[in-house]
Amino acid sequence: MTIIIFLLIISFLIFVHELGHLLAAKWANVKVENFSIGFGPKLFKFNIGETEYSLSLLPLGGYVKMQGEHVNEISDNESIDPERSFDNLPIYKKQIILFAGPLMNLIIPFLLFPLIFINGIDSPKYLEDKMVIGSINIEDSRFNEFELDSELISINDIKINDWNDFFNINNNELNKKLNIGYINNGKVFYKDFDNSFDSINFKNAFSPNLTNEIGKILNNSLAYKNGFKVGDKILKINNQKVTKWQDIKNILINSNTNLFNFDILRDNKFVKIPINFKNSQERIIGVSPVIPTNTKEFTIKEALKNSFNQSIKSINLIFFGITDIFSKLFSSESNLSELKKSLAGPIAIAKYSGEAAEKGFNSVIQFIIIISINLGIINLLPIPLLDGGHIVINTIESLIGRRIKPNIIGFFNKIGFALLISLMIFAIYNDIVNF
């Protein structure tokens, strides 16, 4: 089922991408000879007018074959209509055809996000509660004055009535000198906090009081390997009582031993699980708490507004993430371990598609959106063989006023092919190692 879902999602996104090229080519009056989803043996094909449409066995790619697209590959016996040849188009029309595929992928979030908002979004219940600090997640001496169970009430001139108010603050407002108001033991205090230099992500610094019940377990984590289960309630660690999630962190960090005995309530039965950390091992077992949620529903107007904002936010986030990965590839300070964490190949994507399907409709739609944005942005990168590479070549030709020699383009295409294949092999290897 995971493989089927993966193939359906990938085929749909490839179809959307190639459809963009097809529609733009038809608009430019270019003769489109073939529109294919997939590679290899054709499962079926049919003709509509002058174009053959086909679905091939391996749906991990696709293409739109236009007349005159590759001039050096045209045989002497092949008849070409100069007026309908891609090669004879004005530069701006070529660019529109090339850009149309990635553009269609980047339009997908604007079309699909409304389905998520109309269906309703599960959001943590605590967002509507007062901002009482249950845990401090960043090791920084500047946070020493904040005591647990303090309530944040203001940051500079911004009033904070609940956690929602805090998370809705623009990040630019937090990356500067701050005056923070909070209540502790019924008294109001104000603390100056300079976040302008060596800025930290202030929104990740605090968490509310969370339950001692396990909501998620990371694959291959210590908890996973030692038999912890979702729904387990951690009652004690080394006979120290656990009433909230922060207690777990405090006990693990502040104890002088490496052996920890967990007393757990599971299905109304008591279970004991020991975990022995190595001396150099970070004391993280790989679990996160249950976070109760409310389903928030939206009107059509609210759904469209939120969808637009979320689409822009997602595209920006993924764009800077992808460009950061490629900049690290060519940086002398690149870290291979960081790069491995960032790259996912087809095996990982298939796995994530199955996990998304298990979580329901919203997760599947969100997964499709993420993959679609990635596909659109990656294809716009100035790498030979990709749409972005062709766009760069056309731009250079328009600037110099003449065609680049086919052998030069062929040379750069080989470099692009080698780069893409190398990345794919590395990503697949990474998937297998982490599977």
Inside any domain, residue 405: yes
Both 412 and 331 in one domain: the answer is yes
The pLDDT of residue 172: 79
Both 285 and 379 in one domain: the answer is no
Residues 63 and 56: their CA atoms lie apart, in Å, by: 11
The pLDDT of residue 278: 84
Both 247 and 277 in one domain: the answer is yes
Buried b (16+ CB within 10 A) or exposed e, 363-394: bbbbbbbbbbbbbbbbbbbebbebbbbbbbbb
Inside any domain, residue 407: yes
DSSP readout, 80-139? --GGG-GGGS-HHHHHHHHHHHHHHHHHHHHHHHHHHHHH-EEEEGGGGS--B--EE-S-
DSSP readout, 7-26? HHHHHHHHHHHHHHHHHHHH
The predicted model gives 43-66 an average pLDDT of 88
Q: What percent of the chain has pLDDT over 70?
A: 90
Inside any domain, residue 400: yes
Dihedral in degrees, nearest 10, Cα atoms 359, 361, 367, 373:
-160
430 vs 246 pLDDT, higher one: 246
Q: pLDDT digit string (tens) for 311-357?
A: 998 898 888 878 777 776 666 555 555 556 666 666 677 776 777 77
In this predicted structure, the answer to whether residue 174 has a pLDDT above a threshold of 70 is yes
The whole model's pTM is what?
0.73
Inside any domain, residue 320: yes
C-alpha distance across the termini of the chain, in Å:
17
The pLDDT of residue 101: 94
The pLDDT of residue 31: 92
At which of 158, 179, 207 does a domain end? 207
The pLDDT of residue 137: 81
In this predicted structure, the answer to whether residue 395 has a pLDDT above a threshold of 60 is yes
In this predicted structure, the answer to whether residue 29 has a pLDDT above a threshold of 70 is yes
Axis-axis angle for helices 406-434, 387-400 (nearest 10): 160
Find the domain containing 198 and state its range: 126-207
Tokens found for residue 23 = 């529609």
Inside any domain, residue 420: yes
User: How many CA atoms lie within 13 Å of 394's alpha carbon, on the beta-carbon side?
Assistant: 22
CATH of the domain at 240: 2.30.42.10
The predicted model gives 280-291 an average pLDDT of 86
The pLDDT of residue 224: 92
Both 433 and 400 in one domain: the answer is yes
Identify the three-state secondary structure at position 152: strand
Closest listed residue to residue 109, CA positions, set 344, 368, 369: 369
- Cα 357 to Cα 67, 137, 203, 276, 350: the distances in Å are 40, 31, 30, 35, 11
Inside any domain, residue 3: no
Contact 106, 311 (CB under 8 A): no
What's the domain count of the chain?
3
In this predicted structure, the answer to whether residue 283 has a pLDDT above a threshold of 80 is yes
Residues 383 and 392: their CA atoms lie apart, in Å, by: 9
At which of 268, 294, 320 does a domain end? 294
Both 286 and 335 in one domain: the answer is no
The pLDDT of residue 337: 57
129 vs 321 pLDDT, higher one: 129
The pLDDT of residue 273: 94
Both 183 and 219 in one domain: the answer is no
Inside any domain, residue 142: yes
The pLDDT of residue 26: 94
At which of 275, 294, 313 does a domain end? 294
Identify the three-state secondary structure at position 172: helix
Structure-token match 């003709």, residue found: 47
Inside any domain, residue 29: no
Closest listed residue to residue 3, CA positions, set 354, 345, 344: 354
Structure-token match 């077992």, residue found: 285
Contact 241, 247 (CB under 8 A): yes
Closest listed residue to residue 355, CA positions, set 230, 247, 219: 219
Q: Where does the pLDDT of residue 269 fall: very low under 50, low under 70, confident under 90, or very high at 90 and above?
A: very high
Residues 138 and 201: their CA atoms lie apart, in Å, by: 9
Closest listed residue to residue 148, CA positions, set 132, 164, 162: 132
The pLDDT of residue 307: 92
Q: Where does the pLDDT of residue 431 fall: very low under 50, low under 70, confident under 90, or very high at 90 and above?
A: low
